[in-house]
Structure 1
Amino acid sequence: MELTQATLNDLLVQLQRGGGHMYLPDELDSEHLTDLLAGRYGTPRTLVLDGFTDPTVDEPKGAALLAPFKNRAVRIRAWAYGDQWVGAGTARDAEGAERPVLVVAHREVPQLLAVAPGEDVDWLERLIRITGWTQPAQRPDLDWAEVESRLGTPLPSDYKRMVETFGEGAFDGYLRLSQEPWTYLREDGLLMWASTEHEDSYCWKADGDDPDGWPVLVQSFDGEDVLFDCRATEFVCRILTDPHHRFTMARYFDTHWFMNYR
């Protein structure tokens, strides 16, 4: 079997129709399989390494992928993608031989909870729940002092936490998170922190000395500016889950994930 993105897609379609798992031919390179999946879905989480299962693995972190192999999994990596878990690696078959495997399982995705009046919400934690994010912080050591000095302005704290947590990539493979704000709209008082494939620009209207008070401004592809009195993480949570939001992504995706480009 020549393993390409096309053949991988065929294998995934087979599994998605019936669910479950499959053992692949012995000559197939399991690392190549993992690389192809990473090219689609971003950085994986390691569930099993050298036969030892990560003790923190539970249902919200992909445990359903291990069920078909019981204690025979040797190395399994996992990706959250919409309402599915996708896993790949190696496991021992009924005869005890280690073979490449591909597995798909259903994923329950938590939805955005209602906000009570006056409730102090950690929108980043909600975003982590909505996307099923299980990876460690991707950029915990960013030198924000250097970035802010170079840009000439402090930045909103929730945005910095979002970049540290998710790193480089896109929500639902669509909303690209900038690793530091773009300043080309600065003469209009705007700093751009994200963009979409439809060429919408998500910015802050950088008014005032407190960046945590900056509202979000969307500069749509048709040139219209739309202001939202909320912070960046709340804005992302709402467009992912609220089908009535003007810039909703909930109409296109029932469940949500973050595609890490690295």
Structure 2
Amino acid sequence: MTASERMIRIDDVELCVERKGRGEPVLCLTALGHDAHDFDPLADLLADRFEFVRVEWPGHGRSGPDTKPVSAARYAELLDRLVPALNLENPVVIGNSIGGAAGLIYASSHPVRGLVLCNSGGLVEFSPEVARFCRLFARFFAAGERRAFWYGPLFALYYRMVLPTRQAAAQRRRIVAAGYRLAPLLRQGWASFGRPEAYLGPLAESLDVPVWVSWARRDKIIPLDRCRPTIARFRHGRLSTFDAGHSAFLEQPEAFAREFVVFADDLAASPRLRVATS
């Protein structure tokens, strides 16, 4: 089954949206620096049952640049207008990293059938330690923005840690090849992660939506143990872990697909959950 691509202008940003499959819509939101290819394996496995609607953030993939800096709040703001433009009603949302944080913000004020958070941002409580950690990464990516000669090799090593599995090798190569181009976006994003408002714990507690937290347990950047207190605040939450680095749907697609189908079937079967997302 082939994918269709559409460019949609939202708030003076040309966003590329790729759709593949048929059936219940699944809105796919990527990590910072990633693109629609992240969801290729999952779409290949489940395109006969779901329509995967894959958004490429500003400056990523085929999308145009933004005039506003990167943050989960900015991406959620774009979703406010993008989702109606796509004629999506009550989609299931899968969000990875900053995409998870943007999906959580979006789901807090819009109807969704369910929310899948994959190593999501926004779940580690703010502290001076977190702020220092984020500033360190922002400085690293600022070096790439300056085109420091050593940035390219170190960025490649960094992505060996982020996406360590064989299944992610092709996507890892694409991201590494774009390392210098992505550096300004990564610098802006990491600067935003270190601000108090990046913590989404209060939204997690108030969210009356079924949530499946799918965690790649080899993640060195967002450790699961630091996120467990916030995950426990979800009213209708469940947690699964996978042998992956940051994006289980990309790195362990067969195992992820099996559990995603279970989650989707539960959404369809439970009247209580249908009411919660209406």
Say yes or no: TM over 0.5: no
**Larger helix fraction of residues:** 2
Q: Which has the higher strand share?
A: 1
TM-score range, shorter chain: under 0.3
TM-score normalised by the chain length of structure 2: 0.25
User: Which structure ranks higher in relative contact order (CA pairs < 8 Å, sequence separation ≥ 6)?
Assistant: 2
Structure showing greater radius of gyration is 1
**TM-score normalized with structure 1 length:** 0.26
